A and B are shown apart, each in its own frame.
Chain A
Amino acid sequence: GENVEQHPSTLSVQEGDSAVIKCTYSDSASNYFPWYKQELGKRPQLIIDIRSNVGEKKDQRIAVTLNKTAKHFSLHITETQPEDSAVYFCAARDGQNFVFGPGTRLSVLP
């Protein structure tokens, strides 16, 4: 089955700097990769996703890149703001369900 690894486990950045979170997956058949943001005590919410037929997708300050050959994908957040502080999870579709990474706790320092 699919295995997803995520790095770093914690990340602190100054407000206005960029943040990058990286994930690797094991199953070359995986073709859909969502990213979720989970604030403390709240439900995970989808922030961006990418399908395997594209290499990059952007939505305002958030972008995701995918390297199918290397089986890794990354989340990029530019111009970080304090409200970006949360735990971020990457995931890879495995059949009809999803395998999640262990999460990255992002802290944006004012």
Chain B
Amino acid sequence: GAGVSQSPRYKVAKRGQDVALRCDPISGHVSLFWYQQALGQGPEFLTYFQNEAQLDKSGLPSDRFFAERPEGSVSTLKIQRTQQEDSAVYLCASSLPAGEDNEQFFGPGTRLTVL
């Protein structure tokens, strides 16, 4: 595909359910980022991968959040025992090596609503 894709685009979960959000980065992009965007706010950093290595997970809000990128391409963000405060748009972005000011290309996001 031409750009970053994410699935599902919308997810409604009951409080306490586990969810898994998928990101397909642009082919060849070694860097992958996850952000959380609450309504009316800017994206907030969650975690960063370079290839399959998770180099920074300092933004994950709790141990209920887990991300992986086992083969250095597709990434999954998993949220266990969802809470209402997890409701947000989850954005994925990819780029060429992150340390060289390369543009981050964002996916369309997954809008998660926890009831």
Contacts and interface: CB of A to CB of B under 8 A. Distances in A.
Contact of A103 (B31, B42, B99, B103): B42
Interface string B30-58: 01010100001111110010100001100
B88 interface: no
A96 B99 contact: yes
B101 A93 contact: yes
B26 interface: no
| Size class of the contact patch on chain B | 20 to 34
Chain A interface, >50% SS class = strand
Interface residues of A, number: 24
Contacts of A96: 31, 48, 50, 55-56, 98-99
B53 to A, nearest CB: 12
Contacts of A6: 42
A92 to B, nearest CB: 11
B2 to A, nearest CB: 13
A100 B91 contact: no
Contact of A97 (B91, B98, B101, B106): B98
A75 to B, nearest CB: 14
A99 B42 CA distance: 9
B101 A32 contact: yes
A43 B40 contact: no
B103 A34 contact: yes
B42 A100 contact: yes
A99 B104 CA distance: 13
A49 B101 contact: yes
